[in-house]
Structure 1
Amino acid sequence: MIKRYLIERSSWIFLFLLQQLILLLIAYLDPSIPLSAVGYIVFISLIVFVLFLFYRYQKETDFFQQLEERENDFDLSNMSSPSTPFEKIVKNSITEQTKHLKQTASENRMLVEQEKDDLLAWIHEVKTPLTAMHLMIQRMDETPLKGDLTYEWLRIHLLLDQQLHQKRIPFIKNDLYMEVTELEMLLFSELKTLQSWCIQKGIGFDFDLQVTHVLSDAKWLAFIVRQILTNAVKYSHSSEIVINSYNMNDRNYLRIQDFGRGIDTKDMPRIFDKGFTSTTDHQDQASTGMGLYLAKKAADSLHIQLSIDSKRNEGTTVTLAFPKRNEFDQTMGM
């Protein structure tokens, strides 16, 4: 701050020093003026100027130092009172801008909330004809056309479901209900939705559930599993998906392993980034880059450690590590 203050007042300092040099120069050129007396006056003036500069530094920088240290928020209560006309101008300007930003932020928040409510209402409206469409498809005879229609219906259903949960993610903590959840029922329910797609791609499942119950929110856990299974089926063909659960070091684990195309090593650090699809298969139009991102966000809220191990053309293993009971109680205050 001292350096910046001296730079700010450099023109005044330069003017003062120039005046003292002029006095010394006049005394040097005019023999009638005692040089020693002028030098003494200049010396005293320098001491007074330095003391004055130190005093003004304390006085003038206090307001701006507090302004620099204050947090970047809309709270002006901790802002120091101005003591000069220019400081008053600064404070009035900040106050007016803050009021404007508060109003704009409030309006934008209302617009976002309205947009979210409208989108959620639209998704629920679309689900009605989508359900009717599914019933009509089920009445059709077993033909290749029925399989194609079922697959396209499933894609729309999963995209709408993903969009619905994407809008709910920011408020997930208000929607959590922790309970003992039965893994087998949850997994079979999700696989039933994907059944026609799995049959079409020749994909089977191998189960080994040593742990049958976990402590979690059933609805959001189902969403996480849905995203993982959807990716496993999407990127596999004519192979098995291995699902097992186990307990290790007093912690429950759920592991879902496929033998599909896998993920390139250079893409691994970015797989949970919003909107990231792939650098290797960047032309894949079916990928939205939202599934793993949303699954990770939901898992973090449930205190589930979501990890992925994958190799290109060898498959992908996704592991869900559920929190220990005592860890969850401490975190959630249950």
Structure 2
Amino acid sequence: MKNKLNYLRQYIPWLLIIFGIEVFSAILLWIADVRAFYSMLVLMILFTVIAIGLSCYILIRLEIKREKAFDDFLSRHDDDTKRRLLSVYGETHKNTVEMIISSVEKMQAQIKTESIKLSDYEDYVEIWAHEMKISLSLLTMILDNNQESLTGDVKFKLDYIRNQIGDKLAQILYYYRIRGEKRDFLFEDFNVAESIKEILEDYMPLLREKNFDIKIRDLDTNIYSDKRGFEFIIAQILSNAIKYAGDSPRLEIVIEKQDNFTMLKFTDNGCGVKDCDINHIFEKGFTGDSGDIRKKSTGMGLYLAKHLADDLKIKIDVKSKWMSYFEISLYISCNI
């Protein structure tokens, strides 16, 4: 009802003029002949109501047709919808409608051009990331085959660089993965302990550099999920713990069985998150107030992890106390 009244808002002055003319005519009749006025009063009121009501009906129908024609033009944007739009607005508004059509066509052409450019750029970045991944695999193979010829310091630095590049490449690839319409997930039954062991091995150079004390409990459990996606989420959590580690860093990883869920919990004694920031840590580009670390952060790791977790139906819960601890729990459903 409110929408229909909104259609009439622009016509209110004209409807008031019609009503005013009817009232003025009634006054003239009353002055000319009082008896005729009273005998015609009911008929005049009925005529006024019918005239204004019919006018409102016609105007509302016209505005609905105009709105539908405009919506059709914006959604389909072809010659047929263009002609229909011009016809419902008539000659009076023809120039204005043609200007709007021209502006919309220019804007849509520009959007199409920019979309093609963006798509080409995304394809290039994704291809580049895959090529870099191949180079990284080659570097890994060279390092593995030349363990004895490398000094401890050189090997550590190369492992460190390899890990950092691998982490950033994984973020790029998963960023495009979560933005795509298709989700190439492969759900399977796998062992949590084995997955986490592989990830810890990848991050071992960074963990050793920070002198992490890692405690693992009750991880020998199987879950049903996308293994690759699950491991990416764990890697981002681990990377976050390393990045914000304090003195004498500790990390505890534990699994608990709960009704229809398997809970995997990570607790570290890093700087944590302020209360005012905790609701924003999964936002794109959010880095919080972490001093010098903030300058080196991109705010993408947990953002990507949360998006991927949502796709895999994994619930994430976070608890933290500033300058004390940071705890992140994953709830993996047993009934996917």
Number of corresponding residues: 318
Instruction: Check whether the contact 1:243–1:255 (CA below 8 A) recurs between aligned residues.
Output: yes
1:9 is aligned, of 3, 8, 11, to 11
2:264 to 254, 261, 264: 254
1:120–1:164 CA contact under 8 A, matched in 2: yes
Residues 283-325 of structure 1 show CA distances to partners (whole Å, capped at 9, x for unaligned) of 7211111111111111111111111111111111111111122
The answer on whether the counterparts of 1:24 and 1:39 sit within 8 Å (CA) in structure 2 is: no
**CA–CA distance in 1 between the matches of 2:224 and 2:312?**
10
Relative distance call for 1:252 and 1:2 in structure 2 (3 A) is: closer
1:86 paired with 2:86, answer no
Q: Is residue 171 of structure 2 the alignment partner of residue 170 of structure 1?
A: no
Deviation at 1:108, TM superposition (A): 4.8
The gaps in structure 1 that reach 5 residues or longer are 329-334
**Partner SS for 2:328:** strand
- The amino acid of 2:233's aligned partner reads I
Q: So what's the TM-score if we normalise by structure 2?
A: 0.78
Q: What is aligned with 1:197? A: 206
Range that drifts further, 248-257 or 40-49: 40-49
Q: Which residue of 2 aligns with 1:49?
A: 48
Aligned-pair distance for 1:22? 5.2
- Aligned letter for 1:48? F
Unmatched runs of 5 consecutive residues or more in structure 2 = none
Structure 1 residues 42 and 152: alpha-carbon distance in aligned structure 2, compared to 1, 3 A threshold = farther
Question: TM (normalized to structure 1)?
Answer: 0.78
Match status 1:74 vs 2:75 = yes
Which residue does 1:332 correspond to in 2?
Answer: none
> What residue identity is the alignment partner of 1:64?
E
Deviation by residue 1:1-30 (Cα, 9 ceiling, x = unmatched): 45435533333234334445655676788x
2:304 aligned residue: 294
Stretch moving more, 216-225 or 110-119: 110-119
Q: Which moved more, 1:171-180 or 1:296-305?
A: 171-180
Q: Who is 2:325 aligned against?
A: 315
Q: Percent identity?
A: 22
Contact 1:271 1:277 in 2 (8 A): yes
Deviation at 1:117, TM superposition (A): 1.4
Matched, 1:151 2:160: yes
Distance in 1 of aligned mates of 2:219 and 2:209: 29
CA distance in 2: counterparts of 1:324 and 1:66, whole angstroms: 52
1:235 positional shift: 1.2
Q: CA deviation at 1:201?
A: 0.8
For the residue of structure 1 that corresponds to 2:276, the secondary structure is helix
- Out of 190, 195, 213, which is 2:222 matched to? 213
Q: Could you tell me which of 124, 132, 154 is aligned with 1:126?
A: 132
- Going from structure 1 to structure 2, the CA distance change for 1:54 and 1:185 (only over 3 Å counts) comes to same
Q: What secondary structure sits across from 1:264 in the alignment?
A: coil
Indicate how the Cα distance of structure 1 residues 84 and 36 shifts in structure 2: closer, same or farther if over 3 A, else same.
farther
How far 1:149 moved relative to its partner? 5.6
CA 1:50–1:95: 2 relative to 1, 3 Å: farther
Shift in Å, 1:37: 4.0
Counterparts in 2 of 1:180 and 1:63: CA distance versus 1, 3 Å: farther
What are the Cα deviations for residues 70-92 of structure 1, in whole angstroms up to 9, with x where unaligned? 9898269xx9x8897427979x8
CA RMSD of aligned residues (A): 3.8
1:95-132, Cα deviation, whole Å (9 max, x unpaired) = 88887777666555444332221111111223344455
Q: State the alpha-carbon separation in 1 of the partners of residues 237 and 20 from structure 2.
A: 76
Task: Indicate the larger mover: 168-177 or 290-299.
Answer: 168-177
Letter in 2 for 1:53: I
Distance 1:204 1:172 in 2: 41
Change (3 A) 1:247 1:211: farther
Distance between the aligned counterparts of 1:299 and 1:115, measured in 2?
27
